[in-house]
Amino acid sequence: MQQPHSHRNADAGSGPDDRLNTHPRPATSSADDRATWARRVLRTTGIVAMVAWLSGCSAVGVLNAITPSASRTVQTGVAYGTLPRQQLDIYQPKAAAPAGGWPVVVFFYGGSWNAGERGDYQFVGEALAARGVLTLVADYRLYPEVRYPDFLVDSAQALAWGLSHAAQWGGNPQRVFVMGHSAGAYNAAMLALDARWLNATGHTPAELAGWIGLAGPYDFFPTHNPDAQPVFFHPNYPPQAQPMDWIAGTAPPTFVGAPEKDALVSPERSTQQIARKLKAAGATVTLKSYPRANHVTLVGAFGWPLRWIAPVLDDVNDFITATPPALPVSRATGRP
């Protein structure tokens, strides 16, 4: 549920830093030589990004600095509420929208509900936009400013903004997915499974095409994470405050993925259990496990230098592409 230590890098460039170019381009025009050179550059860049990530340097800054930008346009700091952290960035594909509009993802980052900045996840927005997904990366209020459930109130407002404004930005309002990593996956799961939060905005989970959770904590009380404990009033946890409390066959189509081994969030207790229980209840579930990834690099693998770690971008894109639109919902009943 933690995120790498970083600073916001909203104005990152669109190409690799020259200092990363330790392998000069071959003079020959041989296809084999060019392929060898490309593999070496990719390997070197990936190692640099990985070292930065693991050493606590600005790894997201590295990923963002070498993230291409030709495939999308960005609108930053769009308000979905009145408070300073109630803002989101919109990554709009440059390619022509399909009939009905692009699919839409509203993404929430992790950080134990203590840390995070939407600008650090430029590489996620770019990766999805390059695949033809209109992507909204949202901030939400954090501890100690707020505790549960205020960050869910913010997240619901951001998702409601996406549902209401998707068409305005070229998106399909019936193909809206809520997605998150780590603590952000908790937020996404609660919005998709517990109707209280979207209902308060005038929307309903039935409007969602699906939800996507990466390395999320769905059953974690009592938590041993000292950063998360005060967020949920440890040891006096609020009732029905975990996604596992809201299992139902009416859940939107679900994609959950996690590393095979995760020292921060148990894949067995959270990802595998929620997939099993939702499927048993009759929901549509896609479950993926990634042997080379860890808790942090699972989301890092959206950045092109780290995609060799896990095919999570491909898997998420395949899920979005294959999932049918949500049925039109009656405002009177909240049901299709």
pTM for the structure as a whole: 0.84
Domain assignment present for residue 194? The answer is yes
Q: Find the length of the chain.
A: 336
Report in angstroms the alpha-carbon separations of 130 from 70, 139, 204, 307: 9, 22, 29, 14
User: Are 319 and 103 a contacting pair, CB within 8 Å?
Assistant: no
Q: How many CB atoms lie within 10 A of CB 40?
A: 13
pLDDT at 290 over 90: yes
Q: Are residues 151 and 284 in the same domain?
A: yes
User: Do 30 and 80 lie in a common domain?
Assistant: no
Domain check: are 127 and 275 in the same one? yes
C-alpha–C-alpha distance, residues 21 and 31, integer Å: 20
**Do residues 44 and 141 both lie within one domain?**
no
Are residues 31 and 151 located together in one domain of the fold?
no
pLDDT tens for each residue of 49-83: 454 444 444 577 778 877 777 778 999 999 999 99
Which pLDDT band, with edges at 50, 70 and 90, does 176 fall under?
A: very high
Q: Kindly state whether residue 330 falls inside one of the protein's structural domains.
A: no
Q: What is the CATH number of the domain that holds 93?
A: 3.40.50.1820
Distance in angstroms (rounded) separating the CA atoms of residues 88 and 86: 7
Q: Phi, psi at residue 263, to the nearest 5°?
A: -80, -15
Residue 251: HSE in the Cβ half-sphere, 13 Å Cα cutoff: 32
Range with the lowest mean pLDDT among 25-34, 47-56, 239-248?
Answer: 47-56
Percent of the chain scored above 70 by pLDDT?
81
What digits encode the pLDDT tens for the residues 97-143? Answer: 999 999 999 999 999 999 999 999 999 999 999 999 999 999 999 99
Joined tokens for residue 51:
């070292």
Tell me, yes or no, whether 219 and 244 share the same domain: yes
